Structure 1
């Protein structure tokens, strides 16, 4: 008995189930069609194609309209607002829009960049906002290079000038590729040519996105935001979840509203995620001891695992702070309201009660999930004034609680001195903006004992969190800081010797060794440079699920617990504490999930990356504001100190602003200079003059470039002595220098060591 002729739907179903074998002969064989039936099949397939049900693929294959094969080459798109990465088929020719394809990475997969060509295995999905999910087989090609720059119109052709410091390439924008960009706008552009296609002229690019005026009031940070891909706007779903959140009552929580908890933050702080108070311990067994409470906003109650808020917070990793704006980790409805410990408002918190003895050593601690009410929101200046007895009379009722905090801190500071963490003392620059967003001044933030009070109690609370989770055998993300490597130690030793200081070698590294060097430099001309050199010698701290200790703080274990509004690492620690203690109402809802625990390594790597990204963006923005502040002072003379020496010139830290300026080697006079990377010096071939780290210099500002943040100066004098034959040198004259002779002079002309 012959099989019935297949219907159109049966043919479509079979093709979907057999994407690798979907030619006319395959279909005929599958349905047992022979002779005249094959002629009818050919007519039916042609009819289905005319109706838009089928489309032809290479090698005479057929596929349902919009259907993808099981393996395909896909192009990576930009991540969407939720951080998800979607792909599109390469060479999609259908009139219908391509299907939405979600990229689902496996552990260890590299992160694709926009435009990358990927060979992927596809899986059809249903009842979701995408039609397919793709898993990487291999990357087969990188996307076109993209850059951020300023669009410049011209009579012959437009161009894009990159804003990245050190990138001197200018890109030509051919007619029709301007995308409506206007002169002076910040744009994102994409290369049109391969890497070798522009050897006879400027490389070509097209404008793919217009980002507005980079120099409009309060817009300087937008350059760094776009350059580093820092998320600014929140997905609607996350915003909706934040707006739907409601205040929390005291039910099921320990009531701490009777405690004089205070928030102490910078005067311009908008979110307050930690509060502290202290009192004498009334336990007779602890004479002269103190009880310290540290209460932290219970962000985990509002940001639950797997929610839209959680996905977005993890994607951002942390808040990023600029002089003109904040790119927060959480929407403002939470970060500046329900999660913020505002004065007089009841707020949920996770708090730790720590007991210190008279010498500042911790005797014990315990965590609670609680409700609190901040007695006051103070600035560091106000807290210091209360301790010093010079505060506004209106703050007089807070004098007792503040002095109790300082008393407990003085005890804790004794223990800190015995522990001897790294004692860096570096001034922090502050950009002061006018209401219009213009730079009014560059100042240095004052540092008070009030800062040290909060820092020390936050460190103690972080240690307690790590110890508690270890004791309860719960996985967590540690804050890790490894000891410096030998190469960095050699560089630091050279810099110390250049400043006439001693840093011994051949011993086990301890923070005390660095502190002795800092003490030698304290109060001297090289104090700031040595502090910077010690900082640069350290490794970059990072997050990891393994405990490798914290070298800088000289602690065997450390985790971040005290800032869950602005750091995702802290939120994971809060969830671990909730699960470990079984805190209600349901620790399965806002505690650490099994999935979260299994992905701690990936989370730690991701938030380490986002932290570095934010630090770079913040630093770049400060540099741009400094350049903007100095751009109208070209030609003025500044004092400074050499902070770096390179083959191409010097870096000078200007006294007035703390800005780092480049002095090109071309401005060092009309002679050859030889670079000694070990001694960090430049030596004149003719005069034998040695220019090196730590020397006082006078420079003239040649150029300040707000777009890149670059500052270029000409060197006028070193240690009070004018350069012989000074000024920018022109074309070199005479014979090339005798290299061996010059190197011998360099060896003999090391900067002599001054004894402290």
Structure 2
């Protein structure tokens, strides 16, 4: 490959560009390719066209602003170790891999160094963070695409299983597993191994593989009765191996911690900072203040201050607290409990910005112009004293003229300046045009006994948006400061949608006569324009859902690829170090950049080390999201289990070959309608339309359609609901159907398995 080509080198061919991309795996972007071939000005535009052709042809793919050979793994990959090859070498597959986009799942051979350290020694069933590179032909079997080295074991192979105990006459019992993918079948529990478990108890067992016969289980722990809904979150905690008990050394460090003093800090205790949080919040790690800027060069401007609890003062690099925090990655929130990243002594006490108590904080002071754009900012390590603890509703009512004992004294000098600064930030936000999806979140409210009371959609208030905009601006300031100081950091990254997902969205929008331009750089305002076209129409919810599904998943990264959804060039999480490890890393970086103390980011945590941390905490975040979602599903299934036969209104939230997913209106519960129970004809899956279409009549059930369903089955342990469709589909295709061929939903017989027209699905 030409490293320093002459000035008048011919324009490179596609093969030359592909060779360069393959040689510089994960490091080749447009800038690097242009520099290698000495392409400038108008020739760069020609290069972009060539790369677009390669991407459209599926030969390369863009990932984090860099080009890769299509269907390749990133250098640092989370993988599951699945078995061994004929030579006894461990084999793994990537934990996340899209077969539809990239084809068969690649195999990775684990290469273990001769003098491997304990954390580099893996076994079958483990989940590990690997550093991978493509295998050469001479490395062995053609079936192996990559060689990998273990960086860190994330999860050891499961020797425990979770399930429901079912007692058998005469003693002993059987385990009905919660996760059937893990075990595949029930396990026998001998009479002397039940630990007095009662029928219906949720239990954790150790699985013992017999030399002959089926595996058996021994009860290790009784986790409670499923008759109480508090057991539901316990299922998720154990099923996903979420660390929930702090080791003794961690608790000891937390209890030994002493409150910070003024030493090495600025005294900000007279600044009227306030916390604004949900009414049921137990920790308060961010406080805000705003006021007019007295600078005559910034008329109508504001000085905005965001102060965040100084967790780095208490959680030092390499300490027991730090090791446990990176293992957990983040706090996990269930309707009945929180599994915190840090012990309560830290999160709910020393780092909770309580009113009228001295607290350590890392603060950013930002100068805002009247247009809402940030002109400058500075970071400070301070000792502060919160003036008040407010909730969102309280702050909003005060601005609306309904003050109370807390907000009355703060209205003129604290709350009104905050809202004035927010009005300016709104102007900047509208000009920036972040992705504006309308996806209401539901909250499950529990009774005192732990059972579901009701499901609500909390109203989105201006006070919510105020805090959100202040935090976004502070996060941007943190990323800018660390970049300028050349301190490595963990970014909050959100890539633009992949080519495949964009093309699928374009085809779908064509069915609604909405165009999405082909080619060029995608921007969030293009999606906002589409969302604006359908706002208030019948397809509004449908388009919001499909646009959401077209987006990439946000993650943590040591490389800056920007944040597509927020339409920001750089973004890092700074504002919640109590509950997110990424924020703690950013705090340590800021301490180094500002020379605020010795508890800063260690030199050993360079870019490569932070890339590993980012991959690990991204996996922890996905684990938490899955556990939280499953817990909500199980609680709702419990709530509806005594309503079999009842009818509900909802929307179609997903369409697959297997059937249709329904989301109910009031509870937000998700359930399934198997394909075999839809209608009285064969229904085929139309992927481009996100729909099931009747072969004979053209009767169509489409993503986003409103439907009436009947609940026919509820499985609380699995969190699953099964529905029967009562609504007729829309006639989209063959509208010439005779009226006599159609029957109203009311006149239809009780639905069960129907005779099929056409071949049976496999």
User: What are the residue-to-residue correspondences of 1:122-521 with 2, within 5 Å?
Assistant: 147-155=161-169, 158-164=173-179, 169-173=184-188, 175-176=190-191, 178-180=193-195, 181-189=197-205, 204-210=215-221, 211-392=223-404, 394-400=406-412, 401-497=414-510, 501-521=514-534
Aligned CA distance change for structure 1 residues 252 and 599 (closer, same or farther; 3 Å): same
The CA deviation at 1:192 is 5.5
1:661 aligns with 2:691: no
Q: Which deviates more, 252-261 or 147-156?
A: 147-156
Provide Cα deviations, 1:718-739, integer angstroms capped at 9, x if missing partner: 3697358554333637xx5279
Pairing partner for 1:673 from 680, 683, 699: 683
Aligned CA distance change for structure 1 residues 522 and 154 (closer, same or farther; 3 Å): farther
The CA deviation at 1:323 is 0.6
- SS of match in other structure, 2:530: helix
1:646 paired residue number: 656
The CA deviation at 1:404 is 0.6
The CA deviation at 1:507 is 4.1
Provide Cα deviations, 1:265-306, integer angstroms capped at 9, x if missing partner: 100000111000100000001001000000000001111111
- SS of match in other structure, 2:641: helix
2:540 paired residue number: 527
Q: Which deviates more, 304-313 or 525-534?
A: 525-534
Q: Structure 1 unaligned runs (5+)?
A: 1-72, 76-101, 117-134, 743-756
Pairing partner for 1:616 from 626, 639, 646: 626
The CA deviation at 1:214 is 3.9
2:758 paired residue number: 737
CA RMSD of aligned residues (A): 3.1
2:69 paired residue number: none
Aligned CA distance change for structure 1 residues 138 and 219 (closer, same or farther; 3 Å): closer
2:603 paired residue number: 594
Cα distance in 1 for residues equivalent to 2:127 and 2:661 = 38
1:746 paired residue number: none
Q: Which deviates more, 482-491 or 301-310?
A: 482-491
Provide Cα deviations, 1:371-417, integer angstroms capped at 9, x if missing partner: 11111111010111112112325521111211111110111111111
The CA deviation at 1:708 is 1.2
1:568 aligns with 2:581: yes
Q: Structure 2 unaligned runs (5+)?
A: 1-87, 91-115, 129-148, 731-742
Q: Which deviates more, 386-395 or 227-236?
A: 386-395
Cα distance in 2 for residues equivalent to 1:205 and 1:539 = 42
Higher-Rg structure is 1
- SS of match in other structure, 1:224: helix
Cα distance in 2 for residues equivalent to 1:600 and 1:322 = 29
Aligned CA distance change for structure 1 residues 165 and 284 (closer, same or farther; 3 Å): farther
* 2:681–2:754 CA contact under 8 A, matched in 1: no
Cα distance in 1 for residues equivalent to 2:151 and 2:462 = 56
The CA deviation at 1:538 is 1.2
Aligned CA distance change for structure 1 residues 490 and 150 (closer, same or farther; 3 Å): farther
2:105 paired residue number: none
* 2:700–2:729 CA contact under 8 A, matched in 1: no
Cα distance in 2 for residues equivalent to 1:426 and 1:683 = 27
* 1:716–1:722 CA contact under 8 A, matched in 2: no
Cα distance in 1 for residues equivalent to 2:530 and 2:181 = 33
- SS of match in other structure, 2:661: strand
The CA deviation at 1:619 is 0.8
Aligned residues: 610
Provide Cα deviations, 1:449-494, integer angstroms capped at 9, x if missing partner: 1111111111111111111111111111111111111222233345
Q: Normalising by the residue count of structure 1, what TM-score does the alignment of the two structures yield?
A: 0.75
Q: Normalising by the residue count of structure 2, what TM-score does the alignment of the two structures yield?
A: 0.75
Cα distance in 2 for residues equivalent to 1:716 and 1:458 = 46
- SS of match in other structure, 1:372: strand
Aligned CA distance change for structure 1 residues 369 and 484 (closer, same or farther; 3 Å): same
Cα distance in 1 for residues equivalent to 2:640 and 2:511 = 30
Cα distance in 2 for residues equivalent to 1:112 and 1:353 = 51
2:118 paired residue number: 104
Pairing partner for 2:692 from 678, 682, 687: 682
- SS of match in other structure, 1:633: coil
